[in-house]
């Protein structure tokens, strides 16, 4: 019986090992790409330091004219109070937050998707009533 040539035997073992290492390396390189494509979830706290009640809060991701449904679910932010929107899906660099007061006037704020955000609305905040 002939013993296998050790050089030939090592070559056959080396090929699958190289293939496994190459596949693992490609997978590790693609991991950051997969993470960057997933939507981040942030929290946005809206504090109402104005004398008006905030009746509705909307979000607009991407297209500033494509507003979400009301995020307050019928619970206005009374003067001197705040509300936190949790788990806001944020898949771009920023998201626009729109608040509507009791007179139907709007306030706008763009927040970064990099971290949780706070927005304080005061009596001096410019209102869009048109």
Dmax over Cα atoms in the chain, in whole Å? Answer: 97
Q: Say yes or no: 80 and 95 in one domain.
A: yes
pLDDT digits (tens, 9 = 90+) for 81-130: 999 999 999 888 999 999 999 999 999 999 999 999 999 999 999 999 98
Strands (E), 1-130: 40-49, 54-61, 82-90, 94-101, 106-112, 117-122
Query: Does 77 reside within a domain?
Result: yes
3-state class of 128 per DSSP? strand
Q: Say yes or no: 60 and 74 in one domain.
A: yes
pLDDT digits (tens, 9 = 90+) for 39-91: 789 999 999 999 999 999 999 988 878 999 999 999 999 999 999 999 999 88
Q: Say yes or no: 33 and 49 in one domain.
A: no
For the entire predicted model, the pTM comes to: 0.69
| Residue entry with tokens 């019986």 | 1
Flag whether pLDDT at 4 surpasses 60.
Answer: no
Q: Say yes or no: 66 and 118 in one domain.
A: yes
Q: Say yes or no: 55 and 116 in one domain.
A: yes
Q: Say yes or no: 45 and 105 in one domain.
A: yes
Q: Say yes or no: 71 and 105 in one domain.
A: yes
Q: Report the CATH number at residue 105.
A: 2.60.40.2890
Q: Give the count of domains, the chain.
A: 2
């Amino acid at each position: 019986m002939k013993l296998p040539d050790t050089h030939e035997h090592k070559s056959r073992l080396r090929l699958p090992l190289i293939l496994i290492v190459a596949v693992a390396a490609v997978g590790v390189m693609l991991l950051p790409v997969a993470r960057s494509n997933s939507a981040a979830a942030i929290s946005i706290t809206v504090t109402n330091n104005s004398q008006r009640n905030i009746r509705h809060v909307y979000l607009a991701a991407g297209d500033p004219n494509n507003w979400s449904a009301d995020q307050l679910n019928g619970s206005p932010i009374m003067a001197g109070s705040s509300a936190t929107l949790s788990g806001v899906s944020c898949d771009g660099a920023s998201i626009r937050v729109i608040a509507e007061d009791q007179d139907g006037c709007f306030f706008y704020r763009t927040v970064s998707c990099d971290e949780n955000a706070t927005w304080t609305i005061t009596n001096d905040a410019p209102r869009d009533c048109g």
